[in-house]
Amino acid sequence: MKGILLFGHGARNSDWARPFGQIRQLIMAADETALVEMGFLELMRPTFIEGIDTLVGQGATEIVVVPIFIAGGGHVNKDLPPLAADAMARHAGLAIRLAQPVGEAPSVLAAMADYALQVMPAE
Amino acid sequence: MKGILLFGHGARNSDWARPFGQIRQLIMAADETALVEMGFLELMRPTFIEGIDTLVGQGATEIVVVPIFIAGGGHVNKDLPPLAADAMARHAGLAIRLAQPVGEAPSVLAAMADYALQVMPAE
């Protein structure tokens, strides 16, 4: 079974995770069979490995990790690959693929630009 | 004249700013009259105030600051308002409005969810 892990940085304030919950709901509404969890790098739970463990417990054998980051920086390029390697070492037979950060997807960039135009002051 | 400041965190690697440049290009392509600059909190230039100064130099009198952040956390809720206050103190007559972070806009959340579905492993 396929699974999606929404990978985020984490923050001290629990409200910060709200968009992650909304993205998860939207994915599940679009595909009832999708297994979707979130996993945070720091400051919040579930952690990355807790999110992976939950997906595996639900039967996921192939997981795509979607970085919910504006761009690829140290967290995505340096911190994430070892986390994925550890998860694959922990779960024999599990395949993990790392997607590009959402902020680099053309459709997301277009939505961000549209949003900025919507909130621009009227002449 | 109206202006948009794309406000970002900043990172050590200059590649990190690429989505900001792409959002800026998309906005300018959609509205040729739009004044759009970026401004970073740390680690990168232009800084927030440098971005504001450029917009004011181009004739902006009303600026909306669009936080290019996944969610509102300390950087958006605590660091940004004093930067805006300083900018208004520096430029008499300048109006600044702070928009919600892009990651909390429903259209952007929908685009992120769609992207995650696109990269989900096929059955």
Q: In terms of DSSP bridges, do strands B95-98 and B62-67 run parallel, antiparallel, or are they unpaired?
A: parallel
How buried is B93 (Cβ within 10 angstroms: 0-12 exposed, 13-18 middle, 19+ buried)?
A: exposed
ipTM for the predicted complex comes to 0.96
Contact (CB<8Å) A103/B19: yes
Interval B75-93 mean pLDDT? 96
Q: Is the per-residue pLDDT at B120 higher than 90?
A: no
Q: Above 90 in pLDDT, residue A50?
A: yes
Label residues B12-30 b or e (16+ Cβ within 10 Å = b).
eeeebbebbebbbebbeee
* Cα torsion through B85, B90, B91, B94, rounded to 10: 0
To the query of whether residue B75 is one of the catalytic residues in this protein, the response is: no
Per the model's pLDDT, the better-predicted residue between A20 and A120 turns out to be A20
Domains and CATH numbers, chain B: 2-119 (3.40.50.1400)
pLDDT for the residue A81: 97
Q: Is the pLDDT of residue A123 over 80?
A: no
- Could you give the CA distance from residue A25 to residue B46 in angstroms, rounded to a whole number? 37
User: What percentage of chain A exceeds 70 in pLDDT?
Assistant: 99
Instruction: Report how far residue A87's alpha carbon sits from residue A65's, in angstroms, rounded to the nearest whole number.
Output: 12
Share the mean pLDDT of chain A: 96
| pLDDT tens by residue, B3-24 | 999 999 999 999 999 999 999 9
Closest partner residue to A2 (CB to CB) among B8, B22, B120 is: B120
Give CA–CA dist B118/A9, Å, rounded: 22
- Whether B4 and B66 have beta carbons less than 8 Å apart is answered as yes
Q: How confident is the model at residue A59 (pLDDT cuts 50, 70, 90)?
A: very high
Which pTM value belongs to this model? 0.95
Which of B24, B25, B119 is the best mutation test for A, with the most CBs of A within 10 A? B119
Span B31-38, average pLDDT: 95
pLDDT higher than 70, residue A47: yes
Q: What pLDDT, on the 0 to 100 scale, is given for residue A99?
A: 97
Q: Is the pLDDT of residue A89 over 70?
A: yes
Residue A62 and residue A2 in contact, taking contact as beta carbons nearer than 8 Å: yes
Annotated catalytic residue, options A3, A5, A8, A9: A9
User: What is the torsion angle, in degrees rounded to the nearest 10, for the CA atoms of residue A11, residue A15, residue A17 and residue A23?
Assistant: -150
- Nearest CB to A27: which of B2, B12, B117? B117
User: Span A12-34, mean pLDDT?
Assistant: 95
* CA angle, residues A55, B109, B45, in degrees to nearest 5: 110
B-contacting residues of A 76-105, CB under 8 Å?
A: 95, 97, 99, 102-105
Q: Of B17, B22, B108, which has the smallest distance from its Cβ to A115's Cβ?
A: B108
Which of B33, B114, B118 to mutate to probe the A interface, most A CBs <10 Å? B114
* Contact in structure between A112 and B103 (CB atoms under 8 Å): no
| Helices A106-119, B18-30: crossing angle, 10 deg rounding | 60
